Each structure stands twice: as structure tokens, then as C-alpha cells.
Amino acid sequence: MFKYRTNVLWSGLLALLFAGTGGCGRNSATVTVAGSTAFQPFAEKLAEQYVAKHPEAVISVQGGGSALGIQSTLAGTASIGMADLVKLPPEAQSLHPTVVAQDGIALVVHPGNSVVSLSLDQIRDVFNGKIVDWSELGGPAHVITVVSREAGSGTRSSFEQIVGGIQLTPNAIIQDSNGTIRETVANDPYALGYLSHGLVDPSKIKALQVNKVECTREEIQAKRYPLVRPIYLLTREEPQGVARAFIDYILSAEGQAMILKDGLLPAR
């Protein structure tokens, strides 16, 4: 019987929420997927599509961030971990990685903001608290509301690795998901944040150019847009059973077409 549920996890609740979910799914039709909140909505839709074709399978998709996805996979409390990182950390080196998509990190502002493009140097200075007013960037004379993800977020780790040299300003507003970043920026005309390109809603937020390159599928795929990272699915060993079948489905023409349709880029 189809059972599907999604939860956003806090690190301190790892053991409770994942207890009894099993490891790599080798001997069970139950698969737990956890980690990246950027890929979570895509994984949810892919799970729905997969289970519609395979009603005997149970796929539970949960968030919590890339760090938690890695930790829960290492502990065997999740079948598959999701991580959206430019480079996997040392503790993940023992895991079996599969790249299932590519994603741009969009630098976003309120649609009414007149600023169009920022350089990597300007982005670094804003998030370090060196530039504090939009007038320094060609915008209105108003303090910038810096919005960032929490520690352990794959989006934050990738953003900081690519931009380089970021020591986040203590004045930043910290949000725990791409969705809350989007809503915060949408409701603050002076906010600057970042999130997955696949979750940009032009009716709510505007994606800025970075180094005068648009954050579009074409520019991301051509690797001209500078803020790009892979999406990994991680297992403790070579995936087997339903875990293998689900990953294969995501990499199939149908799965990759859905990823492209919803705003990410195919793995290859």
C-alpha cells in the first residue's frame, strides 16, 4: 500500500525521526531519502511518480539539509542521502555517490529592486558585512538585509565555497530552507539572499546576474554562470533493491525530463 510522507528534520531529532527506517533498502521495499532541502521537492515528485508505477514500494522523503543527509546515510538511518555540494566533505568519502542533477545557485532580490548584476567580489563583501547599503551597489539608499542558510546547508556550503572568503556577517538573517529564503526575500524590498535556481519564482523574487551572466538554464548548462553545484544521492554502498531502482528511475529519460521541466538541469 502506498505510504508517502515528507518532513523537515532538525539535527537534534535525527535518531527519533529516522529510527527503524533501515539502511540501503536491499531487503525491503521501504526506502527513506533525507537531506538537501533544495532537492527535496524534486525528490518528492519523483517518489510520487515512481510509487505510482510501483505501488508495492514505500518511499519517505525528508529534508534536514545536506549535512544531515550525509550523517543519516553514514549511520544507516536513511537509505539514501541527498547532498547539494560543490565538493563532498571528507566524512562522505566512504559513501557511494551518484550525481542525479545539476543546479545553479541564484542570487535573489525583491522584484522591485533596481540592481541587475553583482560581481563575485561585491557578493563576498555584502555577505561579509563590508558593503552594507544598496547605494554602494547602484541601488537605493537603504541598508541591505542579508539572508543566508543555516550551517550544515549544502546550498550555503556550495555558495561559500564558490564565492570564497566568506565570514558571514553576524547581522545576517538565517533561514532553514530554500523556501523560507524565497519568502523572506519576497517580503523585504531590501533583502539579498540565495537559493536553488529550480525554486526561483519570478512572481515573487528576481534572480540577479552574477559577473554579468544571467542565471538561466542555458548559462548554467554552458558553465558560464559561476554559481553551479551538483546534486548527489548517497548510499553506504552500491545501491541495491528498491534504492537502486529508484535512483535508476531518477536517472531515466522520464526522471531527468521531470527534473528539467521543474527547473534543474539533467545529470549529464
pLDDT digits (tens, 9 = 90+) for 124-163: 999 999 999 999 999 999 999 999 999 989 999 999 999 9
- The candidate with the shortest Cα–Cα distance to 205, out of 184, 226, 220, 219, is 184
Share of residues in the chain with pLDDT > 90 (%)? 81
Number of residues that make up the chain:
268
- The candidate with the shortest Cα–Cα distance to 154, out of 43, 70, 220, 265, is 70
Per-residue confidence (pLDDT) for residue 28, from 0 to 100: 53
- Report how far residue 98's alpha carbon sits from residue 267's, in angstroms, rounded to the nearest whole number: 9
Q: In the CATH hierarchy, which fold is given to the domain comprising 104-221?
A: D-Maltodextrin-Binding Protein; domain 2 (3.40.190)
Under a CB-based contact definition with an 8 Å cutoff, are residues 6 and 177 in contact? Answer: no
- Report how far residue 234's alpha carbon sits from residue 219's, in angstroms, rounded to the nearest whole number: 27
- The torsion angles phi and psi of 195, rounded to 5 degrees, stand at -160, 175
Asked if pLDDT for residue 268 goes beyond 90, the answer is: no
Alpha helix ranges (H) inside 87-149: 120-127
| Spans of all domains in the chain | 6-102+231-266, 104-221
CATH architecture of 6-102+231-266: 3-Layer(aba) Sandwich (3.40)
Provide the β-strand partners of residue 105: 196
